A = this chain, B = another copy of it.
Amino acid sequence: MDVFVPFDADEPKTRLSPLFDAAERRALAETMLADVLAVLEDAGWSPTVLATTDLDCDVPVVVDDRPLSEAIDAALEDALPAAVVMADLPLATPDALDRLAAPAADVVMAPGLGGGTNALVVRHPDFRTDFHGVSARDHRRRAAAADLDLATVDSFRLALDVDEPSDLAEILLHGEGKTADWLREAGVEVVAPDGRVSVCRPADSDG
């Protein structure tokens, strides 16, 4: 299946600024993208990166600087059935992608933590994406309004996108790809105060 992987190369992952400077955040974003592309290819999918600016990459790149949902809808239009998988899902596995592709629904969604949508399979031309705001809810409403059936895939590995420092703890605990290695090399460590884990980066690991 064709799959589009949106990648914002401009100022990625600003909420990780307490841990990483801009060059590091860019390197981390590219490492996560590499993990996602490798897993997609392992699963037999055909990825195209949908980037805001040109990018050096081993797979085809389409540059489109329109707002995300508009760029995705344009890419999907001539490619159905096709998928969209976010570039910041370093826990994704071929198994999770197989489960995403399995339901025969018009639209299949992998919700992200915090109301987002981390992956979509779209089979029906009447569906339009809306990645702004609480997109998991909005995608359900849009499918219902267009009288399309929407299935949801239940996957922690696809739900975990990387926005905040605590997300990096999940990568260190459960990741097996280059992103987990990158974080360890950057000196990022899991810390476990009372309750849920997060990460720290001791001062001697900076830059």
- Residues of A that sit less than 8 Å from B by CB: 15, 93, 95-96, 111, 113-116, 133-134, 136-137, 152, 154-159, 163-164, 166, 169-170, 173-174, 190, 192, 195-197
Given contacts A95-B154, A115-B196, A136-B174, 10 further A-B contacts (CB under 8 A): A111-B173, A111-B174, A114-B170, A114-B196, A115-B192, A133-B192, A134-B197, A137-B190, A152-B174, A163-B195
* Residues in B neighbouring A93, C-beta threshold 8 A: 154
- Give the oligomeric copy count: 2
Bound complex: CA of A9 vs CA of B137, how far in Å?
33
Bound complex: CA of A172 vs CA of B80, how far in Å?
32
In the complex, which residue of chain B has the Cβ closest to the Cβ of A155?
Answer: B154
* Residues in B neighbouring A170, C-beta threshold 8 A: 113-114
In the complex, which residue of chain B has the Cβ closest to the Cβ of A110?
Answer: B156
In the complex, which residue of chain B has the Cβ closest to the Cβ of A99?
Answer: B154
